[in-house]
Chains A and B, each alone.
Chain A
Amino acid sequence: MSALDQTGLAGDLPGGAPPVDVRRLRRQRRAELVRALLHSKTFLIGFGIVVFWVLSALTWRWVVRDPQAVDTGATLASPSGDHWFGTDNLGRDVLARVIAGAAPVLTIAPLATLLGLAGGTTIGLITGYYRGWIDDIFSRVVDALLAFPLIILAVLVLASLGREPRNVILVIGIIFTPLIARTVRSAVLVEREREYVAAARLRGERGPRIMVAEILPNITAPILVEGTIRLGYAIFAAATLAFLGLGIQDPSPDWGLAIANGRAYLQIAWWMVLFPAAALATLVVSVNLVADGLRRAFEE
């Protein structure tokens, strides 16, 4: 019966976990997420294209020729060895303008999205956590806003406030706020019913702290995914406003603006429209691919 003497060799901790190293665990979790993303073709392709455009926006000065340089001898030149994407009606190099055009759009769209995220997260947390009359009022406002064509709203505001890039960011950000708030609100509605929120109330935490310290860290995944999706829309919205002449003004190499300019020459110089339009399309699609990849990685 000597074996019976060895009782209790596993310690007296029923239900105990094997020893854990905190830093290793955290690293492991991050590594798992990264591995899931690296396994996702959707994410990788999208991410690659986004990186390409971000690099373009940052380094175009040293990579392509001056997008404002006018070559009077070669206006509306078709694509050739000298001008790969041809030239526009003023003889500016389309390739240089397409590459440099990433800069304005990748400034306006992310800033507008951040503004919308900040406002939307705040409103979503408050309405979702407190419910009641504040939630009712907000929901009616969103309904009213959604019934109204957003582009007309933007046109009205920009026509009265002026067409500076700052105002474009402001308008897109404000329009996004209720949309993002709705997503955040629905995530908060799920979380607030969980018992850790009840436990926080039981130990006497106040509402704002429960929202920020208890609930917010647990809804970062849906917020991040929503932000990425919104970024795609923001790029599109900024280009649309520029196309309508309400956003960025000439001589900026912005894509929306370039498409608007090229429209008049479409029949004789298709390259003036095709290349900026393709650039815009690739950026919007790639941002959406990234959003899709992130969503799937978080769901796993």
Chain B
Amino acid sequence: MSTTERQQAVRIEGLSVAYRRRGRLLRVLDDVSFSIGAGEAYGLVGESGCGKTTVAMSLMRYLPDNAEVEAGRIMFGDEDVLTATGATLRKWRGDRMAMVYQDPGTALNPSIKVGEQIAEVYRFHKGMSRSEALAAAVEMLSTVQISAPDRVVRRYPHELSGGQQQRIMFAMALATDPDLLVLDEPTTGLDATVEAEVLDLVEQLRTQFDTSILFVSHNLGIVARMCERVGVLYAGRLIEEGPAGELFQNPRHPYTLALLRCMPRMGMSKDVDRLDPIPGSLPPIGVEIAGCVYADRCPIARDRCRAEPPAIEPVGAGHGARCFYHEDVPRIPPRERAAEEQAQAEAADGGVLLKVDDLVKAYGSGANQVVAVAGVDIEVGRGEVLGLVGESGSGKTSLAKCIVGLLDPSAGTIEFDQSDVTKSNRDREARRQLQMVFQNPDNALNPSHTVRAILRRSLELLAGVRGKDKQDAEMDDLARSVRLEPRHLDVRPASLSGGLKQRVAIARSFAGNPSMVLCDEPTSALDVSVQAAILNLLVDLQRRHGVSYVFISHDLAVVRYVADRIAVMYLGQIVDVGPADAVFEAPHHPYTEALLSAIPTLEPDAKARMKLHGTLPSPAEPPTGCRFHTRCPRFLGEVCTTVEPPWQATADGERYRCHIEPEELARLQAGDVEAAPAGGAPP
């Protein structure tokens, strides 16, 4: 492999780790081996529960008390991390290896100023004096591109935004110029534009510090962009490894291929493409499997796959796949489409179903008032899917809760099917018509009720079905429509997987045959393979019942896939709205432009990113004039800060709120593509 030529920073050999739970040992990592070269970025990808974090924690030897390393070595230089003494480890952590965690909010000590937290690293590892260390901290903060570092050092963590906090974490991690940097989902909790900024920072820091990186992520796009080599984990086993470009272009393990195929890619739309979910589910943790761990879900599995475990077979330069039949992998056809799904029902054009007029939702009063939704007008047609996009704090969930009747709006009106439903105390008919699917199915299903009880209650209250026999008959239909099997009905939600739980939640909202369903990030808590199945289901249901969706998501590729029209929210206002294609094509609002360019893609020829500066202003004190002017890359001048921008209409039916005319904006946004430098592309 290519790393043998370079110097290896870390070498993991045959690592097996198990967790002890109630007296039983459950193996989560099984014979994992890989190495990271000096200065190399190695990406570790996989779905939740595959053991990614355990690898990262083993590297730092931060494993929890109930973990047991059953076998293996982690060679750091020529010493084994797993047998190092406590004193050596303490010296290494922070000095030679450092880690950045998923949630910077909990990784920083809330009662110590951030400057002192960084300075502590210098004092402990470099023996600097207090003032020297603080000066070094200020310098480090400017290295991680924090503006006004001498002021930031005196702040407490809660006074900083998530992106700034994560920069502080990077500053602490890099303070001692470590040989190895472990990044465990460092951008997962951040918004798209902030994520893009942090990733830019990581890239830039890599050129500055010659550090090896282990980048753990579930997001294939990010890993493709950031890393030179990638390992794919499945059920605690490394099933494929290779150079990032090669592995994503030419995957040779059926799982890697399936993972790539089930992601909605930018530009895919429900009218043309169908997502390709992975059948089955991850084997339960701790179950001994005689053959290949993926055999049960694999389309090309044969008898041999169930009998003996495959070894990693070389399939190219530095590229290996743990599959007996890796040569067949490129020939696996996409799964067949069902006949019903191919027959496309035309979206019934039945006029306007939902009309929201100048809706305002404010929390608190007086000086503490926060206006989450600041005057929103939207219309959704019958049978139409409106995608609602925006970063956290943009007010999209407040808007959805007002529409569905969980919150009372402060001002404005909501008209549904030509009747006024502004207030939240609605009659049964209005509730039946307008339902919601929540973000987190763990939270949205009552853990102490069986699936049957949950669905029965909805059938009774929404569909008005009385009597046990009639309910049971209806329930079978309902369950079948979301592809739940009868055996799933009599269990409690805890014994269902995330995807099945979301099916139950969807079935519940469809019990009364609604005409509109609000989907609040329905797939963001799910793994990509499950997301594909849920999106397919939602699209099928929409076609079959002619139902409208308001589909909220932060994932633009997902919104692009399901939505007919898209509305972009920023600080409580809609700034861009129009047909899905039009919104995604220039000219569009500069904020939309920034959101689009923040997406990490698998395509190697991605254009240079447009950067957003600063942080989301507080909705308690929105900026004057155009609300986006504090961060706008196309900022014009005084007019933006003083005059509220007008709506502009483009030729393709899109409307956006900006002072720049469509022709001018189109020219500016097209210009960027040509002027874009070739740099910044993933390896």
Contacts and interface: CB of A to CB of B under 8 A. Distances in A.
A195 B440 contact: yes
B435 A202 contact: yes
Contact of B279 (A11, A20, A39): A11
B498 A15 contact: yes
Nearest to B501: A15
A147 interface: no
A6 B299 contact: yes
Given A8-B299, A196-B444, A202 B431 contact: yes
Interface in B477-493: 483, 485, 487-488, 490-491
A10 B296 contact: yes
Nearest to B406: A198
B495 interface: yes
Contacts of A17: 281, 488, 495-497, 500
Contacts of A19: 487
B279 A12 contact: yes
> Size range of the interface on A?
35 or more
A218 B457 contact: no
A71 interface: no
Specify the main secondary structure of chain B where it touches its partner: loop
Interface stretch (B8-16, B207-215, B236-244, B528-536): B528-536
Contact of A14 (B277, B462, B505): B277
B22 A15 contact: no
A13 B279 contact: yes
Contacts of B406: 198, 201-202
B446 to A, nearest CB: 4
A20 B23 CA distance: 23
Nearest to B485: A13
A204 B461 contact: yes
Contact of B280 (A1, A14, A25, A218): A14
Contacts of B281: 14-18
A1 B328 contact: yes
Contacts of B435: 202
Interface in A34-52: 35-36, 39
A36 to B, nearest CB: 7
B299 A7 contact: yes
A160 B22 CA distance: 54
Contacts of A196: 443-447
Nearest to B284: A18
Interface stretch (B123-131, B330-338, B383-391, B613-621): B330-338
A194 interface: yes
Nearest to A13: B483
A195 B22 contact: no
> Size range of the interface on B?
35 or more
B447 A203 contact: no
B163 to A, nearest CB: 27
Given A3-B301, A4-B332, A195-B440, A20 B22 contact: no
**Residue of B297, B462, B495, B498 with most chain A CB atoms under a 10 A cut-off:** B495
B506 to A, nearest CB: 12
Nearest to A12: B279
Contacts of A137: none
B415 to A, nearest CB: 19
B438 A14 contact: no
Contacts of B438: 195, 198-199
Interface in A197-236: 198-205, 214, 217-218
Given A10-B280, A14-B529, A202-B405, A217 B448 contact: yes
A22 interface: yes
Nearest to B496: A17
A272 B157 CA distance: 62
A6 B301 contact: yes
Contact of A25 (B335, B461, B491, B532): B491
B487 A14 contact: no
Contacts of A202: 404-406, 431, 435-436
Contacts of B443: 194-196
Interface in B1-35: 22-23
A63 interface: no
Contacts of B495: 17, 20, 25
Contacts of B630: none
A218 B443 CA distance: 12
B218 to A, nearest CB: 15
Contacts of B22: 32, 35-36, 39, 300
A203 B448 contact: no
Interface string B373-416: 00000000000000000000000000000001110000000000
Interface string B445-476: 11111000000011001100000000000000
B278 interface: yes
Contacts of B498: 15
B448 A16 contact: no
Nearest to B300: A3
A16 to B, nearest CB: 6
Given A16-B280, A203-B462, A22 B500 contact: no
B499 interface: yes
A9 interface: yes
29 contacts: A1-B328, A3-B328, A4-B299, A4-B331, A4-B333, A6-B302, A8-B279, A8-B335, A10-B280, A11-B279, A13-B279, A13-B483, A14-B279, A15-B500, A15-B503, A15-B526, A15-B530, A16-B279, A16-B280, A16-B485, A17-B488, A18-B284, A20-B491, A194-B444, A195-B438, A202-B436, A204-B462, A217-B446, A218-B446
Given A11-B279, A198-B436, 7 more contacts: A3-B328, A8-B335, A14-B529, A35-B22, A194-B443, A199-B438, A203-B431
Q: Which 5 residue pairs of A and B lie closest in terms of their CB atoms, listed nearest first? A: A15-B499, A14-B533, A217-B448, A195-B444, A10-B280
